Structure 1
Amino acid sequence: MRFSLLGPIVVRQDGRVLPMGGPKGRALLAALLFEANRAVSFDALQRALWGEQPPATAVSALHNQALRLRRALHTDGVPRLQSARNGLLLRVDEGELDVRDFTDLLAAAREARARKDWPAAAGHAGAALALWRGRPLSDLPELHTLSAEVEQLSQSHLQALECRFEAELQLGRHTEIAPELGRWAAHHPLHEGLQLLLVTSLYRSGRRAEALAAYETVRAALAEELGVDPGPALRALHQQILTSDPDPLPRAAADTPADTAADTAAAAIPTVPVLVVPRAPAPAQLPADAAFFTGRQAELDRLLRLLEQAADGNGPSVVTITGMGGVGKSALAVHAAHLLRGRFPDGQLHLDLRGFGTGIPRETHEVLATLLDDLSPAAPATGRQPLPSGTDDRSALLRSVLADRRVLIVLDNARDSAQILPLLPGTGSSAMIVTSRNTLTDLPAAHHLPLAPMDAEEQRALLSALCGHDRVEQDLDAALRVLAACAGLPLALRIAGAQLAARPAWPLATLADRVGDQERGRLSALTAGLLDLRATFGSSYLTLRDSDRHGDREAARAFRLLGLWPGQVLSPAGAAALLDRTPGQSEDLLERLVDAHLLESPAPLRYRLHDLLAEYAAERADQDEPATVRESARERLCLWYALALENARLALGEGYQLPPRLDETPPAPLPVFTDQAQAMAWCRQELRNIGEAIRQAGQGTRPDLAWRLPVWLLGYMRTCWWTGQWEDYLHQGLRVAERGRDRIGRAWLLRTLGACHRMARRYDLAIEELEEALALFDDPASKAATQANLSIAYGAACRIDQALAHARAALELHRRTGGSERHTAILLNSLAHALRVAGRMEEAEAQYREALVLWRQYGNANSSAVTLAHLGDVLSRLGRADEAFARLQEAVDIFQGLGNAALAADTLITMARTHARFAEWPQTRIRALQAAVLADRHGLDSWLSEARGILDDVEQVRLGARGLAGAPSSAYPALCFGPGPGPAPATR
């Protein structure tokens, strides 16, 4: 786990950002991190969250925040947040907190400065500054007592800047640091230490007039703001410039202690003579560092650590940075190289290998010549020795040249490992950074650093740096829309930032509307001069499409066809249907695309396109594939999901009436399910793809699939109906069926929608949909099943006569027409529900027991549990407590085993009320607490509210105010097409 306070508060685990809640939760985390591994009193924590006048509810609010924080951090099985005497303690291990790392690196930089080890001082200070992502805790609106910690860190940041710039000046790099130093000096116009360093760097670079102007700027600022003159060090330097004094500048304050604050700034005065130029300069070819480099802290830390080890001769000499086009590989490599220049004093080389793009990739033979020439010392008058003519000989010579030097080589945009192999250093302390869109897994002895799109916090920080923090905060909604459109790609964000910088009158909403324009497309909107996302993606795709190798061209075809199925995660089996290939061939093609960073693999054998790449892939499909090919690919995958869903529903062993089956040959092998758990897991994993299949089928040549898919999904949705997703799918299918005047499709959708409405306690809507479905069905089995559903809906609406009438009519029709015995349990359940609502408990018990035997006979676990819960409620009303609790507990165990959190919580609430009926208050509280914990864990707000209401009632009983004995049971009457509800779903 990694805790970051130097900027917005971010917590990562294994590279994934953990949600830390609102400002109060983040403030609590910050207060504990500043005292990591030490107990912090509750009083101190209250002051950190609310200041010196906390509200009356501060104690309970603090405990709630601590509970949320404990859950958020308890992701690795380790209890991070622990209770201490009158307070809390947050456990943080070595290397997990950026503030500690920053402090340690700054201390090492100071020690190196004291012993005048300028390369080490520059390296340690640079590494400390690399941890800095902006003002600490910048995402907290109020700091209260934490403001002192933030101010201390800000002062330490300035000290790190001074130390690094002083070391760079001592190493003769006055020209290189002048631009960056000028920016920091402008941010701190009254900081004499930085101003002194700026004037020195300008003077040493031969920019005398600018040095004098910089001095005049700081003199005027000090006079206007503070009414004082510059300190002795600045004044002495000014006099030197005026007289063009070439003598060495005054010694640093480390040698001559000073008494005043102004003299303390002189600690940064360099001791190198003004006009000294290195006699044989080492190559310094790094491109300019990225302006406003932001984020990538975990990756940067890792890269710096590896390169530091290489410089000491103890680490990997080659580090590869790989990722999709536009993800920021080159920017990270160059930024890290700049921070570690001091660790590689014999030179820093940079070459664009042109592996991807419009140019021809550079030949290794020619690259070797370039590197050897750049590393050769100044030639005598007689000239240099000629380079070897063979590539192998040049490679051997390069290894010899690097063996006794510390050189950093950045090879950007490599095509493949073959282009890199002859360039690798052998022994010694040189290092190489290679960036590529291919994974380069076959590069020997290399350490691989894959680069993923930025997380939300990093994106927001980068956008703020590019166009201004105030501009982002003034329209946060528009900023979030821009971030969503850029989908975590730094290149896209830099294009957006460039557009905003060039148009200061634009509010962020204008850009957000442009990049969100569906007709225009994001790729067209995200273009600024030479920065072009479409061209960046095209260089990767066209490399495959125009390759001489059949496998590459097949991968390019797979890429564009995947663009027809945007935003989804596919398995090789599903991709096989889309691509019209075998699953094995599809897996090979998908893995090839992953290696080329044109496809992501978020989990083993699961594949998806990045958001922006999906848009580009869809464009290529439109351009490179005929319309008939595109439509056939979509239809194959929709049909595959419909047939696979039939298999899943059959594996659930239901006794419900099944919709009409498709009699078609699957376009690819279908999944085989050996038990209910496998079928449920597959549905859970593929739910979004099923939704996409419903959408695409409704727009394509197979509109019948648009109603079959959501109806066949009922078997899975018995356990997940409360999310509202199923209802959306059903309405999509109904619109398609009504548009196509599909009578049978409308009938099945209306019946299933009626079940869905009843689960959500929308009884009038349920009855309306079911009555319409009943009129559309012609066959006896469908009519009987629909009447059974109507009985349940009428019973839930307390219309007892209609409930009993429909239940008996359904059972009579079923038996008269010789209906399937597998459906008998459904109809018995509906009659039992109606009898229970009518208060005829003995008759209801008999019907439930008969239905339970059938459910168990056919292996329908979920329906067995529903019936057990109802039976338990009936038994409790008959006064048979032991039997009731045994049946209810069995139901809870089954629901939890199936992952049906809503009905498990609902049955626990039924148990709590049943205990209350028998005045068993301790047991009532235990069951209500269990229900509350389960509901809270799964975001079931309505169940959580009901459980808390019971807990409040128990507390009233304890206080003697009232009792629960007469409270109604929350047990649900189940529908024939699935379980009934607990409370109505809280979210859609």
Structure 2
Amino acid sequence: MLGPLVVYDGTGLTPVAGLKVRVLLAALLLQANRVVPKDALKEAMWGDRLPSSVEASFANHATRLRRILSATGDKRLLTVAPGYQLLVREGELDVEVFEGRAHAAGLAHRAGDWRKVRAESEAALSLWRGEPLADLAPFSEYRAPSLRVHQLDEARLQVHEWAFDADLHLGRHREICAELAALAAEHPLREALHRQLMLALHRSGRQADAFEVFHALRRSLVDELGAEPGAAVHQAYRELLDQDRGPEQEQGPEAEPDRAPPARSPSHGPVPVPVPVPVAVPRPWRSGAAAAAYPYQLPPSIPEFTGREAETAALLELLRRPVPRPDEDDADGDGAACGSEGHRTAAAPLRPVVISGMGGIGKSALAVHVARLVRDAFPDGVLYADLRGFSSGGARSAHDLLARFLADLGVRPDVLPDDTDDRATLFRAAVEGRRILLVLDNARDATQVAPLLPPDGPGAALITSRHLLADVPGVTMVPLGPLGPDEQLTLLSRLCGADRITDEPAALADILTACGGLPLALRIVGGRLASRPSWPLALLAERLTPHRGRLQALAMGSVAVRHTFDMSYLAMRASDNDLEREAARAFRLLGLWQPHAVTTRSAAALLGATEYDAAAALELLVDANLVHSPEPDAYALHDLLGEYAAQRAAEDVTGAEQESAILRLLTWYARAVAAACAVASHETQSPPPLAGPRDPGLPAFTEEADALAWTKRELPAIREAITRAGVLGRSDIAWRLAVGLFGYATTHWWTGEWDACLRQAMDIALAHDDTLGRAWLHRRIAVAHGMADRNEQCLEHLNTSLGFFTDAGDELAQASILGNLSGLYVQIGDAERGIAHAERSYELYRNVGNAASEALALSRIADAQEMCGEHALAAAYHQKVIEVLREQRHGVFLATSLTKLGDIHRQLGRREAALEAQTEALAIRQRMNDLGGTADCLAFMARTHHRFGEWEAARACWEQCLDLGLRHGMTQHIERSRAGLAELP
């Protein structure tokens, strides 16, 4: 019962299926061996809403329970008037065993036998697997025994406290700090835990942290109960004070607890720069007792705080900027202070600082960490408040927070104004000229924060928010991103031990990838590993596999990554602001397309919105740190947020809306790929466009390089689009996407990506008997084989494609395919067929009036003439082709023709003409970032230098070609370069 309800059947723990059966079993177990009236059991299961078939339903559930219990052996569930009796033997119920061990621990505690306290407590707590009866529905609905569960929780906390007392007596102060801090955070009003944490921190040499615990507890008690801590806590506080004061500070046992302890730097003892002692400024609205109070309200820091060196340094510089105090002003009172060289410099007021980032990124931890480091710069106090900007219970109002802050600063309740603006005015007057730091945690928006900001002067505000809060006046923003790899490893090591995580490097890498650099996720993982020492890392890594329950696995107790994300998304979804609700819709629809980034144009297609509206929604998501923008007009989801968005899409978006959104996006990609191909390839013929209105939001390409760069960047999304089109049965979209990569393949054919896309699209076209798609795919698959010198396969697909287009009477397609056949025959050394097919291609182009493509046919003829030994004639043809291509601004084709012309000049002994053409071709390839084409040019230039005995120049070209091949896995170029180098003398 101490966790989800399970039954031990002799071999293992078996969960109890069915909520009503679990409630029935729990009700019987809580009165084990006693007869429980049937009416009481029905009430536990259904409350006041008994169904009309209650008798039959109850009998069915009782039968199911008997079947489950039968695995334990003897007959357990007896029918005894007026109800049922569940037989449980001694030692069979974990609750009874726990209570026995707890009783023994209590006896040992009273006797001062601390080792026995430790042993019995560990035995008792080891029985707990989570919250008691964790898999029952809410107690208020099903009337489950909430009082008993509360008693068990209370007993568990008591055992923890006894165990911590034992640890403190046994000198295990450092070992218990982390666990104590976690429990104290879960129970902010439980004085015993905070007292023990104060002592453990203090005796571990962490005096500043111990003082923070006291002040946080006192603040919580005053806020929630209107009461001061008890005698035991004050006694512990006095122990801290007695040890912390120097001889000159000794003031007796009744030192004022409200006063913050003397400031220390985090690692080097007292701060070397002297800080003026604050002088209380008399103000008529302040009470005499509070006039000397210097509040210090930071919550306990996280012991395992890791990394963030750059952000910490930036925040320290912003908050420690020197600000003249009143007694440091110049005699003229002009607001200037003397610098180190005697010059007067104007006092620069401290600006509000906002730490922003996605939920779970560690904003609050960083703020508390930095606030502790700069406390020496704010001797008049530190005010802290959690604004609960994204809490399910609603954000705290500035009106109420001002009342609390003013009370902390000594303002009498009888002068507190009713109006918020008046309170803000009074607050600014109360902190005027005082070096006070306000830490405003978890702010929702600028409206919530603005009344709480101090006036210009020595005071400062450190704000955390999931939103950027760029509209806070004078704000300086410090955004937080995921932890780096080294920081992630360090944090996990601190949480569960370095030895533990280094034994399984592969599983460790998977875990770190699954956590995505999110500190919250890493802390949950570290906590799980620390509390389950027998678990191998591989087991947890498997549970953290993306899209297989990873978000559910990233939860421990009341802390969960999904819950943290919920607070951001649900606040936006429930907003009164139309734009915020539209942004929430955009977020969940983005989950349909993660992990791929979108632009404003592609997002507009996905959302079915205008580009303007899509941009507004995306920018709002960026401001809310639900989406990040890694580069201009690119928007992406963090890995974990992407998985969360996908879950939200599955839960909040209907199937029809999901299909419509994806179909809009796939259509957009098909048209965008076609546009890029038209510019990058100058293809002789484009596939017929998709039916329907044109999308006005397509990317605009003016240069080949732009089209190629876009296609390369979007290639993972294009491959995903082909897969999604197949799932939706849209072969017409799938094959157009694959065929449209022809432009990309003219420079990146060697990667093999195009081949994979064509094969996938062909499978889809065959499955849907798409004749047009098969014709175009055979045509492009032939080209892919030809580029890779797979000549037999190329010939097979060219002939198949030619048959399709001949049957369709498409002469333009026939002309293109005949040209490809010509190029293939030249490639395999059959010049006669090469010329015949090239001339037939040229005639067809002229017949259909496609002058732009005649240059391609002439180039084929030139290649065949060169093979026949007619070099001068081939050069003339190439020169004519180059003139046409210069007018068309066709970079890829022009570079190819220049390379071929240069090689013909080489064979004719024309060194300068050869190198001139090849140098121009190389410049074009490099400008287009065409790695394969660049390597080809270098190879041809190497042959030219070799032809004229320029060995060093040839060696340099071959070595550059080899380097490109090795760095980018271009096997053909590697082999060609090594062969060329071997031929050099």
8 Å CA contact 1:906–1:943 kept in 2: the answer is no
Looking at structure 1, the residues matched to 833 and 244 of structure 2 have their Cα atoms a distance apart, in angstroms, of: 104
8 Å CA contact 1:495–1:528 kept in 2: the answer is yes
Looking at structure 2, the residues matched to 807 and 375 of structure 1 have their Cα atoms a distance apart, in angstroms, of: 95
Determine the structure 2 residue equivalent to 1:61.
none
Looking at structure 2, the residues matched to 329 and 781 of structure 1 have their Cα atoms a distance apart, in angstroms, of: 63
Q: Structure 1: which 5+ residue stretches go unaligned?
A: 1-174, 186-201, 213-243, 252-268, 378-382, 954-961, 965-988
Q: Please, which of 691, 712, 716 is the counterpart of residue 719 of structure 2?
A: 691
Mark the CA change 1:181 to 1:387 in structure 2 (over 3 Å): closer, same or farther: farther
Determine the structure 1 residue equivalent to 2:588.
560
Determine the structure 2 residue equivalent to 1:827.
857
Q: Does 1:792 align with 2:770?
A: no
Determine the structure 1 residue equivalent to 2:670.
642
Cα deviation, 1:567-610, whole Å, max 9, x if unaligned, reads 22222122111111111111111111111112111222321222
Q: How does 1:599-614 map to 2 (within 5 A)?
A: 599-614=627-642
Q: Does 1:303 align with 2:332?
A: no
Q: Does 1:347 align with 2:381?
A: yes
8 Å CA contact 2:572–2:581 kept in 1: the answer is yes
Q: Please, which of 738, 741, 752 is the counterpart of residue 780 of structure 2?
A: 752
8 Å CA contact 1:787–1:807 kept in 2: the answer is no
Looking at structure 2, the residues matched to 918 and 702 of structure 1 have their Cα atoms a distance apart, in angstroms, of: 57
8 Å CA contact 1:800–1:834 kept in 2: the answer is no
8 Å CA contact 2:835–2:865 kept in 1: the answer is no
Q: Secondary structure at the match of 2:817?
A: helix
Looking at structure 2, the residues matched to 245 and 579 of structure 1 have their Cα atoms a distance apart, in angstroms, of: 63
Determine the structure 2 residue equivalent to 1:620.
648
Determine the structure 1 residue equivalent to 2:30.
none
Q: How does 1:561-580 map to 2 (within 5 A)?
A: 561-580=589-608
Mark the CA change 1:354 to 1:311 in structure 2 (over 3 Å): closer, same or farther: farther
Q: Does 1:890 align with 2:924?
A: no
Mark the CA change 1:429 to 1:808 in structure 2 (over 3 Å): closer, same or farther: same
Amino acid corresponding to residue 930 of structure 2 in structure 1: N
Amino acid corresponding to residue 440 of structure 2 in structure 1: L
Task: Give the TM-score of the pair, scaled to structure 2.
Answer: 0.66
Amino acid corresponding to residue 919 of structure 1 in structure 2: G
Determine the structure 2 residue equivalent to 1:782.
813
8 Å CA contact 1:744–1:777 kept in 2: the answer is no
Looking at structure 1, the residues matched to 421 and 952 of structure 2 have their Cα atoms a distance apart, in angstroms, of: 82
8 Å CA contact 1:783–1:810 kept in 2: the answer is no
Looking at structure 2, the residues matched to 647 and 206 of structure 1 have their Cα atoms a distance apart, in angstroms, of: 70
8 Å CA contact 1:204–1:275 kept in 2: the answer is no
8 Å CA contact 1:698–1:706 kept in 2: the answer is yes
Cα deviation, 1:810-835, whole Å, max 9, x if unaligned, reads 53255258243333333333344345
Determine the structure 1 residue equivalent to 2:107.
none
Point out which structure has higher relative CO (alpha carbons under 8 A, 6+ apart): 1
Determine the structure 1 residue equivalent to 2:404.
370
Superposition deviation, residue 320 in structure 1: 0.7
Looking at structure 2, the residues matched to 766 and 446 of structure 1 have their Cα atoms a distance apart, in angstroms, of: 63
Q: Does 1:704 align with 2:732?
A: yes
Q: Does 1:537 align with 2:565?
A: yes
Q: Secondary structure at the match of 2:320?
A: helix
Determine the structure 2 residue equivalent to 1:281.
259
Mark the CA change 1:707 to 1:310 in structure 2 (over 3 Å): closer, same or farther: farther
What's the % identity of the aligned pairs? 41
8 Å CA contact 2:818–2:840 kept in 1: the answer is no
Q: Does 1:462 align with 2:440?
A: no
Q: How does 1:730-769 map to 2 (within 5 A)?
A: 730-769=758-797
Determine the structure 2 residue equivalent to 1:974.
none
Amino acid corresponding to residue 923 of structure 2 in structure 1: D
Looking at structure 2, the residues matched to 448 and 521 of structure 1 have their Cα atoms a distance apart, in angstroms, of: 35
Looking at structure 2, the residues matched to 930 and 295 of structure 1 have their Cα atoms a distance apart, in angstroms, of: 41
Q: Please, which of 371, 385, 388 is the counterpart of residue 417 of structure 2?
A: 388
Superposition deviation, residue 791 in structure 1: 4.2
Mark the CA change 1:794 to 1:326 in structure 2 (over 3 Å): closer, same or farther: farther
Determine the structure 1 residue equivalent to 2:438.
409
Looking at structure 2, the residues matched to 250 and 576 of structure 1 have their Cα atoms a distance apart, in angstroms, of: 62
Q: Does 1:510 align with 2:522?
A: no
Q: Please, which of 504, 529, 546 is the counterpart of residue 500 of structure 1?
A: 529
Q: Which moved more, 1:940-949 or 1:752-761?
A: 940-949
Looking at structure 1, the residues matched to 913 and 570 of structure 2 have their Cα atoms a distance apart, in angstroms, of: 70
Determine the structure 1 residue equivalent to 2:135.
none
Q: How does 1:315-330 map to 2 (within 5 A)?
A: 316-330=350-364
Q: Please, which of 736, 753, 760 is the counterpart of residue 725 of structure 1?
A: 753
Mark the CA change 1:884 to 1:403 in structure 2 (over 3 Å): closer, same or farther: same
Q: How does 1:762-911 map to 2 (within 5 A)?
A: 762-778=790-806, 779-796=810-827, 799-801=828-830, 804-805=832-833, 808-809=836-837, 811-812=839-840, 815=843, 818-819=847-848, 820-837=850-867, 841-911=871-941
Q: Does 1:582 align with 2:610?
A: yes
Mark the CA change 1:927 to 1:663 in structure 2 (over 3 Å): closer, same or farther: same
Looking at structure 1, the residues matched to 748 and 172 of structure 2 have their Cα atoms a distance apart, in angstroms, of: 59
Amino acid corresponding to residue 623 of structure 1 in structure 2: E
Superposition deviation, residue 764 in structure 1: 4.4
Determine the structure 2 residue equivalent to 1:421.
450
Looking at structure 1, the residues matched to 241 and 893 of structure 2 have their Cα atoms a distance apart, in angstroms, of: 93
Cα deviation, 1:883-921, whole Å, max 9, x if unaligned, reads 212221121122223332321232122112211111112
Superposition deviation, residue 248 in structure 1: 9.2
Q: Secondary structure at the match of 1:309?
A: coil
Determine the structure 2 residue equivalent to 1:475.
504
8 Å CA contact 1:326–1:491 kept in 2: the answer is yes
Amino acid corresponding to residue 281 of structure 1 in structure 2: R
Looking at structure 2, the residues matched to 837 and 930 of structure 1 have their Cα atoms a distance apart, in angstroms, of: 28
Looking at structure 2, the residues matched to 206 and 587 of structure 1 have their Cα atoms a distance apart, in angstroms, of: 54
Cα deviation, 1:922-969, whole Å, max 9, x if unaligned, reads 432444465567778x7466588569748955xxxxxxxx746xxxxx
Q: Please, which of 567, 570, 577 is the counterpart of residue 549 of structure 1?
A: 577
Cα deviation, 1:166-223, whole Å, max 9, x if unaligned, reads xxxxxxxxx9xx99978999xxxxxxxxxxxxxxxx99988999899xxxxxxxxxxx
Q: Secondary structure at the match of 1:698?
A: helix
Determine the structure 2 residue equivalent to 1:527.
555
Mark the CA change 1:944 to 1:493 in structure 2 (over 3 Å): closer, same or farther: farther
Q: Which moved more, 1:739-748 or 1:909-918?
A: 739-748
8 Å CA contact 1:352–1:413 kept in 2: the answer is yes
Q: Structure 2: which 5+ residue stretches go unaligned?
A: 1-167, 179-194, 206-237, 261-294, 326-347
Looking at structure 2, the residues matched to 355 and 211 of structure 1 have their Cα atoms a distance apart, in angstroms, of: 35
8 Å CA contact 2:842–2:858 kept in 1: the answer is no
Looking at structure 1, the residues matched to 717 and 543 of structure 2 have their Cα atoms a distance apart, in angstroms, of: 29
Mark the CA change 1:384 to 1:509 in structure 2 (over 3 Å): closer, same or farther: same
8 Å CA contact 1:639–1:666 kept in 2: the answer is no
Q: Please, which of 295, 305, 315 is the counterpart of residue 293 of structure 1?
A: 305
Amino acid corresponding to residue 723 of structure 1 in structure 2: T
Structure having the higher Rg: 2
8 Å CA contact 1:767–1:794 kept in 2: the answer is no
Q: Secondary structure at the match of 2:747?
A: coil
Determine the structure 1 residue equivalent to 2:477.
448
Q: Secondary structure at the match of 2:384?
A: strand
Amino acid corresponding to residue 769 of structure 2 in structure 1: R
Cα deviation, 1:28-60, whole Å, max 9, x if unaligned, reads xxxxxxxxxxxxxxxxxxxxxxxxxxxxxxxxx
Superposition deviation, residue 420 in structure 1: 0.8
Q: Does 1:912 align with 2:974?
A: no
Amino acid corresponding to residue 463 of structure 2 in structure 1: V
Q: Secondary structure at the match of 1:293?
A: coil
Mark the CA change 1:594 to 1:963 in structure 2 (over 3 Å): closer, same or farther: closer
Looking at structure 1, the residues matched to 838 and 681 of structure 2 have their Cα atoms a distance apart, in angstroms, of: 22
Looking at structure 2, the residues matched to 206 and 940 of structure 1 have their Cα atoms a distance apart, in angstroms, of: 62
Cα deviation, 1:234-278, whole Å, max 9, x if unaligned, reads xxxxxxxxxx99999999xxxxxxxxxxxxxxxxx9986596664
Looking at structure 1, the residues matched to 674 and 477 of structure 2 have their Cα atoms a distance apart, in angstroms, of: 43
Q: Secondary structure at the match of 1:692?
A: helix
Looking at structure 2, the residues matched to 931 and 735 of structure 1 have their Cα atoms a distance apart, in angstroms, of: 36
